[in-house]
Amino acid sequence: MNRPLPSRSQAIGRDALLDNLRRVRDLTVRLCEPLRAEDSVVQSAPETSPAKWHLAHTTWFFENFLLIPYLPEYGPFHPRFGFLFNSYYESMGEFHPRLQRGLLSRPSLEEIKAYRKYVDQYMGMLLEAPDTADAEQIRTRATLGIHHEQQHQELLLTDIKHLFACNPLRPAYREALAPDGRASPPLDWLHLPSGMYAFGHGGGGFAFDNESPRHRRYLDEFSLASRPVTNAEYTDFIVAGGYRQPTLWLSDGWRKINEARWTAPLYWEQQDGEWWQMTLAGYRRVEPDEPVCHVSYYEADAFARWAGKRLPTEFEWEAVAGTQTPDGNFLESGRFHPQPVRDGAGQFFGDVWEWTQSAYSPYPGYRPPTGALGEYNGKFMVSQLVLRGGSCVTPAMHVRASYRNFFYPQDRWQFMGIRLAA
Ligand SMILES: [Fe+2]
């Protein structure tokens, strides 16, 4: 999974950049430490990738977009890795089919770790070299590579969760942290009056190109829920027969839940009248006060209709979230699971990505960057929907109010949840 480009002026200073690069690269490796070599090879679904592939592809990004074009003394680590670990950049040549990533028992995990060290060493050389005419472009691309790697850190964890959920042994990626015992407060509503509001990246710090240009739109008055929908509330929808009432569902959604036989969120199972779920800490009961997650757009939309509400647009979401402090339960908490809302916080950031009803499309005046990196984002602006806010496995520094994530309406293996609007 890849995303768009930063503008040229947003790269950070060289020393901070190299330090940041090393910390992010190191974190990716540490996230793989609980895995056995066998865990890192398997691709459990078309939309997921093996951990080993994530380790290699993020490295390929630095090799092909920085070292090969900008470091003359660099020689590629392996002549075929460009084919194996290019994700979808047509401009960069042919690539290995996405659905066959799980067949790559070779190169070994040890070879991929050596590939990472090799590229990291040369990236240090590139960023520590005296500035040349390409210095700004190098920093811009390196910054993009860091944010690209953070996107893959999240994908790595969600893909491991999917893989382990397929295993009858129910392996735990890590031990569970003690629950903090919070209870979810009653739902409240945050009201905004009608008027003109500004959207998109306003400058300062990194942003992907799909967050620009900043522009204004008129919004009618609306209200947003003060927190995401909880497991308890979603269970009420299930018990009320929500999955059996066609009038609640979009046509594509009704077809999907019947073909796939969905009767609950992904990873939920009923045992002796109780709901259980797979988590990155293993198999356990569904906690009623936690935000519901692993629901598709179709399920989010049907729930909202059942509740007599609707999903927000991405602009309604941003108009409110832009006034909030972007803190929450992110990857750094180590919980890797959504938590009940904290008192007084709207929980707009972290825990679960929130589906919006907005189609993922370009902002007025958007132009994809030229060259191969123009494929990062613009070509995906059809048939997907925008999600906002980040999740419990998103790195904290990766998210902001203008951040636009996007997935297909049937996707639900990411930590995807629901916030109601009215
Ligand atoms: Fe990628």
- Buried residues in 210-240 as b, exposed as e (16+ CB within 10 A): bbbeeeeeebeebbbbbbbbbbebbbebbee
User: 3-state SS of the chain: helix, strand, coil percent to 5?
Assistant: 40, 10, 50
How many angstroms does the Cα of residue 128 sit away from the middle of ligand 1?
25
pLDDT one-digit tens code per residue, 137-162: 999 999 999 999 999 999 999 999 99
CA of 130 to the centre of ligand 1 (A): 29
Which of 258, 419, 256 minimizes the C-alpha distance to 349? Answer: 419
pLDDT in tens, 365-396: 999 988 888 888 889 999 999 999 999 999 99
User: How many Å apart are CA 49 and CA 96, to the nearest integer?
Assistant: 13
Ligand 1 mean position, distance from CA 148 (Å):
6
**CA nearest to 296, candidates 331, 321, 259:** 259
pTM of the model: 0.95
**pLDDT tens for each residue of 40-96:** 999 999 999 999 999 999 999 999 999 999 999 999 999 999 999 999 999 999 999
Compute the distance from residue 147 Cα to the ligand 1 centre, in Å.
10
CA of 398 to the centre of ligand 1 (A): 15
Distance 62 CA to ligand 1 centre (A): 11
pLDDT tens per residue across span 8-20: 334 467 789 999 9
Ligand 1: centre distance to CA 149 (Å):
7
Task: Give the Å distance between the CA of 87 and the centre of ligand 1.
Answer: 6
Q: How far is the CA of 25 from the centre of ligand 1 (A)?
A: 14
264 CA distance to ligand 1 centroid (A)? 30
- CA–centroid distance, 406 to ligand 1, in Å, is 14
- If you measure from the C-alpha of residue 151 to the centroid of ligand 1, how many angstroms do you get, rounded to a whole number? 8
CA of 28 to the centre of ligand 1 (A): 13
Give all strands (DSSP E) within 286-352, no chain letters. none
